[in-house]
Homo-oligomer: A and B are copies of this chain.
Amino acid sequence: MNVTVKDVAREAGVSVATVSRVLNGSDAVTEKSAQRVREAVVKLGYSPNFLGRNLRKRATNVILVIIPNADHSLYMKICAGMQACALRYGYDIITAVSNAATAVETRHLNMLFNKTVDGAVLMGTSFDAGTLNRLAEEYDIALCCEGVTGADVLTVTVDDERAGYDAADALIKLGHRRLGFIGVESNALSASLREEGFLRALGDHGIELPEEYIYRDTYDAVNGAKAMERFLALAEPPTAVFAVSDLIALSAVRRAAELGCMAGKDISVIGFDDIDACSLTTPSLSTVAQNCSEMSEVVCRKLIENIKSERKDRGYYTVEHRVMMRESTGVLNKK
């Protein structure tokens, strides 16, 4: 019932070795035999069983990408980019969502342990540096979007510190001196780097940051609204705000509007990531865009190189970011 190389060999009147040679593009075969094999393949509707092939070759040419969060369009964009890149190297990408839960992430990594995939890209992993280093000892893994302090693992991200700096700088260039910051209470490296960069920019411009201008909470859109409420209740609210994620920024913009304060006019708000919604809302959201295509390209190529080679590249690479000014930011409105 299930057609195998044997069947094809019999049909074509050759040996299984010849069939395998034709299928794998080995040139050591006469055109006549090759032709006969190809015909038999078509006639029998043969499709090679990759379990057998992979078992023998000890490779699957498949890379696993673990996504922490199904709601974030950034991750899907990067996956699409990696897929395009992998294809050129003869690899396939499969993705799985971890919901940032260690248990789920571990379950997915089983595919690495049980040889179902050749390598894995972790986007915002929940593992600590020690675990990652142990993993990297035995398997080909890479971090993307989100690095981990102390992890000696191939990593590709934007330069978050620099990006935070640039976001603040863009606001300052618009004349703002009272800058608010909405961050997240987590050990996410990217968020704290963005905060560091933000603070450095303020320092460079001799701007002080009062305690009340900083708001940190869980990574949840609704906290943009909460932060904005707090800011606007101050005697002297900030005139511009940087949020470490677009979702938070959008929620802040919305709450501000409800409180009679229009983003872009009465207050400036800039987010991070450039998710699709940024350009769909009114006002459209200024943000810092990550270069997804470059990020996916770099991480995918380097991981495949690692898989194929004995020498393992464990470098930390950064890709470009770009400040995108839209309608939610404007020059300081001197009253």
Write out, one digit per residue, whether chain A residues 54-69 have a CB within 8 A of any chain B CB (1) or not (0): 1100001010100000
Stretch of A5-13, A185-193, A236-244, A274-282 lying at the B interface: A274-282
Can you name the residue of chain B whose Cβ is closest to the Cβ of A62?
B116
Q: Is A247 engaged at the interface, CB distance under 8 Å to the other chain?
A: yes
Q: Which residues of B contact A174 (CB under 8 A)?
A: none
Tell me, rounded to whole Å, the shortest Cβ–Cβ distance linking A281 to chain B. 4
Smallest beta-carbon distance A253→chain B, Å: 8
Q: Is A83 an interface residue (CB 8 A)?
A: yes
How many angstroms between the C-alpha atoms of A73 and B69 in the bound complex? 11
Number of interface residues of A (CB under 8 A): 47
Q: Is A48 an interface position by the 8 A CB rule?
A: yes
Tell me, yes or no, whether A96 is within 8 Å of chain B by CB.
yes
Is the C-beta of A259 less than 8 angstroms from some C-beta in chain B? no
Q: How far is the CA of A291 from the CA of B52 in the complex (A)?
A: 40
- Whether A51 and B54, one on each chain, are in contact in the complex, defined by CB atoms closer than 8 angstroms, is yes
In order of increasing CB-CB distance, the 6 nearest A-B pairs are A70-B76, A50-B114, A277-B277, A47-B113, A94-B94, A51-B55
List the interface of chain A (C-beta within 8 A of B). Answer: 47-55, 60, 62, 64, 70-71, 73, 76-77, 79-80, 83, 92-97, 99, 107-108, 110-111, 113-116, 221, 247, 250-251, 253-254, 257, 276-277, 280-282
